[in-house]
């Protein structure tokens, strides 16, 4: 297919592309990017719309938060990844409305027509009705969150270095991570390593043994989605590494530098200069927007309940994939987990299904292949469960490293990550220990995940039609 230039109207010029069915993909994360890749060179024209100009590899955000790697190592510009394909155009903008009758999405105050719509806008963090905690305990979903966590930890350590009062120093050297899932465990393990070992030579006044990382979770074990043997291995590692666990604990209150956690034993007050939140997930508000526009069901977490082919009832041309969908057409009837693996497989399948439908060919039904799950807890130490094959320690870390490098969509990032990991293992130094930005700047960037109660902008008569 010849490369065509798109001009002011964002519409392809009169030629081959204009006649092709138009697939609009909203969200260039794991699911949307995979769908886009799979449609390259197919007889469709594709528009990928994302509110950010990059794809983010969220599983390694904790490494940005703990200064092991930098922003660019875990994010890649969408234009470079798919924008150069002749039948793909990438547009920057936040989709705010969907008109399912006119087959249009609304973004940048314009209407944009589609023949097929793939919604893959992902999810964000939820504070279970306590939005006021967001500023006190940043989540870890986007790059700015990871930057904020690193800024808070390093700023606190800098202040501790100049603080003669031992109690205040202890406070400044303390971190609490809420949520004992893979993200919380990885963040707690990595911050613990950063504070106890990586900075030992750099800070003259700090005693690494006084650094304290506490992981809080309401369950009776960490990594509850994994096998109990994996949780046990993780807890043993944390015991040795000095990470404190507060299990069976529900957060009741968060104030500046303080958490109140309730367990069966009563209330516990934890004090820490840095508090991080990895406990709750809520789907993008586009789920509610779609529900309002079409009447399709949306679950309590804001996820769109989809049909076996990821469409919604009455709209075979709209597919919802990745973290934004609830897909329970599985052998055990349980919804697929909100993870990168299912998201990628959904993206590839939906793209192939659209092409098969257009060509009038049969397509096999979707079935998810579960490769397993894993979590890195410290240098050269990971726990992993590959379909019943359970490993921990260095072997787990090696498999984790290989899997993540294979999954990483950009080659350049593979090289930079590998070199930084090897450097950190050899020297225990971290390459990206920068304090940048200003406090709480992440709060302004965390858009697109407004509470579901807030009305999303409706399509207006005044908005311009760009295509179609």
Ligand X SMILES: Cc1cc2nc3c(=O)[nH]c(=O)nc-3n(C[C@H](O)[C@H](O)[C@H](O)COP(=O)(O)OP(=O)(O)OC[C@H]3O[C@@H](n4cnc5c(N)ncnc54)[C@H](O)[C@@H]3O)c2cc1C
Stretch that binds ligand X, among 235-243, 316-324, 413-421, 438-446 (CB under 6 A): 316-324
Instruction: With H, G, I as helix, E, B as strand and everything else as coil, classify residue 172.
Output: helix
Tokens describing residue 347: 């993206």
**In Å, what is the CA distance from 111 to each residue of 28, 103, 315, 419?**
19, 9, 19, 45
Q: How many CB atoms lie within 10 A of CB 380?
A: 15
Stretch that binds ligand X, among 37-45, 114-122, 231-239, 437-445 (CB under 6 A): 114-122
Residue 463 as a binder of ligand X (CB under 6 A): the answer is no
- Which sequence positions are flagged as catalytic? 186
Q: How far is 83 from 111, CA to CA, in rounded Å?
A: 21
Q: How many CB atoms lie within 10 A of CB 314?
A: 10
Structure letter (DSSP) for residue 80: I
Structure letter (DSSP) for residue 73: G
In the list 38, 49, 272, 352, the residue contacting ligand X (rule: CB under 6 A) is: 49
Residue 326 as a binder of ligand X (CB under 6 A): the answer is no
* 94 vs 307 by CB, closer to ligand X: 94
Strand ranges for 163-207 from DSSP E: 174-178
Residue 122 as a binder of ligand X (CB under 6 A): the answer is yes
Write the DSSP string, 372-418.
-EEEEEETTEEEEEETTEEEEEHHHHHHHHHHHHHH-S-HHHHHHHH
Residue nearest to ligand X (CB): 29
Least distance between ligand X and beta carbon 177 (Å): 12
Residue 94 as a binder of ligand X (CB under 6 A): the answer is yes
Residue 413 as a binder of ligand X (CB under 6 A): the answer is no
Residue 29 as a binder of ligand X (CB under 6 A): the answer is yes
Q: Are 23 and 46 in contact (CB under 8 A)?
A: yes
Least distance between ligand X and beta carbon 376 (Å): 9
Q: How far is 428 from 173, CA to CA, in rounded Å?
A: 19
In the list 81, 273, 286, 352, the residue contacting ligand X (rule: CB under 6 A) is: 286
In the list 36, 170, 216, 340, the residue contacting ligand X (rule: CB under 6 A) is: 340
In the list 67, 182, 184, 379, the residue contacting ligand X (rule: CB under 6 A) is: 182
* 35 vs 211 by CB, closer to ligand X: 35
In the list 63, 89, 284, 345, the residue contacting ligand X (rule: CB under 6 A) is: 284
* 49 vs 211 by CB, closer to ligand X: 49
In the list 51, 111, 150, 288, the residue contacting ligand X (rule: CB under 6 A) is: 51
Strand ranges for 159-303 from DSSP E: 174-178, 212-217, 244-247, 250-255, 258-263, 266-271, 274-277, 281-283
Q: Any residues with CB less than 8 A from the CB of 19 and at least 6 apart, and which? A: none
Residue 181 as a binder of ligand X (CB under 6 A): the answer is no
* 122 vs 218 by CB, closer to ligand X: 122
In the list 302, 322, 379, 396, the residue contacting ligand X (rule: CB under 6 A) is: 322
List 373's β-bridge partners, or say none: 385
In the list 37, 38, 58, 103, the residue contacting ligand X (rule: CB under 6 A) is: 58
Residue 30 as a binder of ligand X (CB under 6 A): the answer is yes
List 91's β-bridge partners, or say none: 49
**In Å, what is the CA distance from 170 to each residue of 48, 151, 198, 244, 270?**
48, 18, 18, 15, 12
Q: Are 194 and 205 in contact (CB under 8 A)?
A: no
Q: Which residues would be at the binding site for ligand X (CB under 6 A)?
A: 26-32, 49-52, 58-59, 61, 94-95, 120-122, 140-141, 182-183, 284, 286, 322-324, 338-341, 343, 448
């Amino acid at each position: 297919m010849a490369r065509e230039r798109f001009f002011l109207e964002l519409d392809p010029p009169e030629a081959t592309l204009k006649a092709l069915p138009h697939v609009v993909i909203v969200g260039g994360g794991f699911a949307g990017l995979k769908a886009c890749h799979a449609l390259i060179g197919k007889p469709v024209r594709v528009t990928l719309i994302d509110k950010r100009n990059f794809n983010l590899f969220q599983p390694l955000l904790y490494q940005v938060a703990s200064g092991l790697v930098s922003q660019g190592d875990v994010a890649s510009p969408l234009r470079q990844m798919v924008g150069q394909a002749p039948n793909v155009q990438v547009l920057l903008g936040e989709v705010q409305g969907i008109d399912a009758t006119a087959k249009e999405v609304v973004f940048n105050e314009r209407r944009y027509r589609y023949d097929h719509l793939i919604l893959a806008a992902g999810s964000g963090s939820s504070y279970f009705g306590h939005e006021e905690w967001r500023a006190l305990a940043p989540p870890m979903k986007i790059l700015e969150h990871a930057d904020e966590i690193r800024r808070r930890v390093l700023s606190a350590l800098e202040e501790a270095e100049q603080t003669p009062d031992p109690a205040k120093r202890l406070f400044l050297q303390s971190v609490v991570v809420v949520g004992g899932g893979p993200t919380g465990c990885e963040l707690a393990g990595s911050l613990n390593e950063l504070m106890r070992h990586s900075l030992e030579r750099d800070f003259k006044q700090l005693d690494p043994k006084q650094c304290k990382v506490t992981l809080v979770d309401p369950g009776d074990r960490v990594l509850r989605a994994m096998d109990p043997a994996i949780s046990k291995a993780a807890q043993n590692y944390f015991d040795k590494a000095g990470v404190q666990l507060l299990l069976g604990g529900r957060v009741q209150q968060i104030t500046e530098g303080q958490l109140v956690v309730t367990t069966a034993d009563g209330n516990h007050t934890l004090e820490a200069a840095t508090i991080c939140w990895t406990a709750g997930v809520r789907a993008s508000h586009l789920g509610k927007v779609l529900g309002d526009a079409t009447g399709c069901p949306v679950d309590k977490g804001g996820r769109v309940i989809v049909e076996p082919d990821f469409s919604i009832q009455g709209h075979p041309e709209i597919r919802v994939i990745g973290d934004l969908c609830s897909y329970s057409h599985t052998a055990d009837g349980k919804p697929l987990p909100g993870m990168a693996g299912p998201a990628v497989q959904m993206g590839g399948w939906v793209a192939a299904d659209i092409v098969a439908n257009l060509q009038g060919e049969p397509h096999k039904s979707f079935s998810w292949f579960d490769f397993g799950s894993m979590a890195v807890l410290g240098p050269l130490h990971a726990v992993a469960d590959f379909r019943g094959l359970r490993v921990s320690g260095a072997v787990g870390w090696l498999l984790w490293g290989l899997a993540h490098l294979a999954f990483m969509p950009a080659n350049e990032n593979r090289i930079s990550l590998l070199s930084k990991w090897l450097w950190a293992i050899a020297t225990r130094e971290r390459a990206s220990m920068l304090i940048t930005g200003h406090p709480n700047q992440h709060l302004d960037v965390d858009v697109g995940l407004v509470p579901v109660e807030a009305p999303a902008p409706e399509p207006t008569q005044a908005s311009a039609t760009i295509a179609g």
